[in-house]
Structure 1
């Protein structure tokens, strides 16, 4: 049996889903997803983790109630099963809306199945050959499992499976100090677990500006997390409740805990697809090479989202989808060239960043000027009892152009958008410094870091 379509979308995540719906306005679409609509972000990434982080933040704030003059009748405890149930309710509700939208779409056939390319322009799904004029690959990534001796004999979690744990670990070992490892480490510490965070690099979040990495580490240690950097795990033994990691490096040799989370990066889902039938070969890391319009080397085949490498965020994947849609169906010349991509890490202090770090700007040869404001000097931060972190601007002294903005602090993921808009519109460092900001707000930290007048030190 065979079916012919104008467009085939393989992957139903946060890029594939809207792209399939929009493409269906312009012809027949085959939409294939082997798991759940919404992909990693909705089902096992952004939404569920931030929902559970919100529960952890409430627990943390409740333990600090006395600092605000609020008395609680007893100690704060966390019902992890109830936290997971709340997370599932929210995720299920959002996902149900996605399915309803797909069901209502005309000219879109949804295949909930695994597909493999078996011929040029042909994907076989449950015995049916789907042939299309254009193919859009949006298959995402999965957790990378490192080569640790004995790991295959030890029970461990990934960011996907730990979200469904309902019994609180007594001592969680987290291998990996990137954004996933840091978020989960702090979340479970605030739920009540002892946590050891093990990072091979010499600092947490090594892609961030060094001042931001340092602020996040300070926040982790302030919460009681044991942070080991410059430490490589080489062996794992044990069973649930008694996990032992053999490590080398500057800070530890032998580490024990009750549960183990592996958070060491992402691997693209480019294997087992039959891409050779399209004439495509992934790079050594498994990513597909694309041009600025997200076209692959194969005619009428595009790859977008995490599969194309580069910034791997839901918001960039959504922008990829818009670029591909406008390129194909609107004949518009939108590309990835020059796009300004912010990102966030939902720790406390919360990271929001965009553009070049200070070391990267100096290495690129800019005449760098740096503006900084610690949240200890921001009265709104003091009022809400959260003065962790800083705002840091990196600018070009020769042109007054903002090269980067790096925030670790309360609501950092929102505050950074002020810099994103400034960089997108070409507003200068001086213009941002001269813009009047409401007092008292956290946004004053952005203004004062840019050299503004709203500095309230010691107030």
Structure 2
């Protein structure tokens, strides 16, 4: 009987991403017998195809850009930089490998943790199957991540995804990027700076639809200034391999059929959770129309004893939100049972150059709240530090609840924006009046010193 071959654990964790690994180690420290199941490389998206490799590429692309633009700062460079993508990839691969080895060692050094390789699927609400092995637990944690969504019209095309583009060892000649959001924009600028000609096709009327249109227009301006061609409102896109090599993408815009050709096409039209691989129906899990496992504020699913963390729960698609899911879960299981999703303030960054840092609401979202609002926006060109660096593109803006005086949202799009946004975020988590930040004395010359000046410019928002 199958029950005779069942391996029983105190906890089964499916997926070794930024929530799964620390949870396994935290539970093991409390003497739980833990099985962690992984179908691919240790570390999940962040380590293997997300933050670590892409930001390594961003750094290389930034170096190439800095050399090419050094003349603006009075530095004469005889020729354009020679880009060696093989060397860039080698550096990236080492960073990824080092991270994987660190995770492997941490898990291997814990005798309470059993690493199991393979794809897990439910048999019922307490048992999962991995290859020929059957595992059982009354505590099952899903951290299965997500993968690139492949839109209709590209099934028979030699396309790239955020994973396969990182395996190229030669810069593309002409890259077509399908999708004008975070992944697409970052790779577009990376490859443009490394020497490719890049075209972005976005179905929506403007880039990064999560953001207000004003932000989108500034981002587009930055990209187009670097030579990237941006086409928004591209409907009914379809790809076709050319006999002579390369790919042609046809689309409709303003009622007319148009086409663009390139050597490669990158599909960056969003991601879908890997929940379908779990056979969730066998456990009775509720999955929404987008494939996410529904959870409450404590990350509990509709099935007692099953929890969902990270990208697969639809409550955030970032490393920091995944890790916070671990923190919530650890507190609920081992701590004071106080931490929940309700405590989290939305924050993220778009790692083009200059970067965009976002905390809390956009202006349009804040208007929908019905609150009495104060708003201020200033261009980066007003900042001495930005002028001195020769990087004056972008803006800084803030939204305040006029009644509570608390900051509802902020954006820093400009040099250092991904770091500076933390100043707003800390103030928001501390629930301080904006006046505390407004009356602070910030170091000169820095970009951060604009914040008090920005807050002094607050004006009432008309809904």
Secondary structure, counterpart of 1:236 in structure 2: strand
Contact kept, 8 Å, 1:380 with 1:441, in 2: the verdict is: yes
Q: Is residue 2:356 matched to residue 1:351?
A: yes
Aligned counterpart, 2:461: none
Structure 1 equivalent of residue 219 of structure 2 = 216
Deviation of 1:407 after TM superposition, in Å, equals 1.4
Among residues 154, 158, 174, which one is paired with 1:155 in the alignment?
158
Q: Deviations over 1:1-30 (max 9, x none)?
A: 321110100000111111111111221001
Q: CA deviation at 1:331?
A: 4.7
Partner of 1:13: 17
Which of residues 180, 198, 201 in structure 2 aligns to 1:195?
A: 198
Query: Which deviations, in whole Å up to 9, do the C-alpha atoms of 1:277-333 show, x marking residues without a partner?
Result: 321131121111111100001011101111111321110110011111111122522
In the alignment, which residue of structure 2 is the partner of 1:292? 297
Q: What's the CA shift for 1:274?
A: 2.4
Relative to structure 1, the CA distance from residue 241 to residue 61 in structure 2 (aligned partners, 3 Å threshold; closer, same or farther) is farther
**1:213 Cα offset (Å):** 1.4
- Structure 1 residue runs of 5 or longer lacking an equivalent are 454-459
| Counterpart-to-counterpart distance in 2, 1:75 and 1:334 | 52
| Counterpart secondary structure, 2:342 | coil
Question: What is the TM-score when the length of structure 1 is the normalising length?
Answer: 0.95
Separation in 1, partners of 2:214, 2:349: 15
Corresponding residue of 1:206: 209
Aligned partner of 1:457 in structure 2 is: none
Equivalent residues of 1:373, 1:446 under 8 A apart: no
1:368-387 equivalent positions in 2, closer than 5 A: 368-387=373-392
Q: Is 1:112 aligned with 2:117?
A: yes
Question: d(CA) in 2 for partners of 1:410 and 1:440?
Answer: 13
Structure 1 Cα separation of the partners of residues 87 and 241 of structure 2: 29
Displacement of 1:214 after TM fit?
1.6
1:70 to 59, 71, 75: 75
Q: 1:400 aligns with which of 399, 402, 405?
A: 405
Q: Which residue of 2 aligns with 1:49?
A: 54
Residue 259 of structure 2 is aligned to residue 254 of structure 1? yes
Distance 1:281 1:293 in 2: 16
* Structure-2 residue corresponding to 1:456: none
Task: Identify which of 242, 246, 269 aligns with 2:246.
Answer: 242
Partner of 2:228: 225
Per mean C-alpha deviation after superposition, the further-off stretch among 113-122 and 262-271 is 113-122
Q: Report the TM-score, using the length of structure 2 for normalisation.
A: 0.94
SS at match of 2:275: coil
Q: What SS class does the counterpart of residue 397 from structure 2 fall into? A: strand
Aligned-residue CA RMSD in angstroms?
A: 1.6
**CA-to-partner distance for each residue in 1:400-433, whole Å, 9 max, x for gaps?**
2211001111111111010100111012222211
Q: How many residues align?
A: 451
Q: Larger deviation: 414-423 or 122-131?
A: 122-131
| 8 Å contact from structure 1 (residues 415, 446) kept in 2 | no
Q: Where do 5+ consecutive residues of structure 2 fail to align?
A: 459-463
**Alignment correspondent of 2:169:** 166
